[in-house]
Amino acid sequence: MFDFLRRLMYGRYGSDALNQFLMVIALVLLIPWFFTHWAIFSILILALIILIYCRMFSRNIYKRSAENQKFLAWFAPIQRKLAGRKMQMQDKAHRYYKCPSCGRTLRVPRGRGRIEITCPHCKRKFTKKT
């Protein structure tokens, strides 16, 4: 069985980050479909699944790789922002602020009241409440 799958997938593109993202969208669309059974949801879900399988079994690896790179370039800022939010929520001892002039993220101790923060990169001072 595994030999059959190995031979089937030889020279094919396989799964990547764009396929995983499309699968998550299909699963999210599945939730409202359970409650409404509208045809538009089932059509969108089916189209996404067909697109996922077409990309996965494609032999044009370079085009699929280019599509994935464009997706990653588009999704990277969103992913960084989400990772930063997660870090801020998990860190109970510090607050994170952006420097108004250079945009660097600064970490300051929480619970100190109003403090003057000096950016170590551009030396700009600004006041924030921790």
Instruction: Measure the CA–CA gap between 124 and 63, rounded to whole angstroms.
Output: 46
Does the pLDDT value for residue 1 go beyond 80? no
Strand partners, 117: 126
What does DSSP assign to residue 105?
E
Strand partners, 20: none
Q: Taking the model in full, what pTM does it have?
A: 0.71
What's the pLDDT at 56? 93
Our measurement of the distance from residue 62's CA atom to the centroid of its chain's CA atoms, rounded to an integer in Å, reads 22
pLDDT digits (tens, 9 = 90+) for 68-118: 999 999 999 999 889 888 888 898 899 999 999 998 999 999 989 999 999
Does the pLDDT value for residue 65 go beyond 90? yes
What percentage of the chain has pLDDT greater than the value 90? 74
What's the pLDDT at 38? 94
* CA angle, 64 then 68 then 3, to 5°: 55
What's the pLDDT at 87? 85
Structure tokens at 10: 């030889």
Mean pLDDT of 34-58: 95
Least confident interval from 2-16, 19-33, 95-109: 2-16
What percentage of the chain has pLDDT greater than the value 70? 100
The rounded mean pLDDT for the chain is: 92
Our measurement of the distance from residue 51's CA atom to the centroid of its chain's CA atoms, rounded to an integer in Å, reads 20
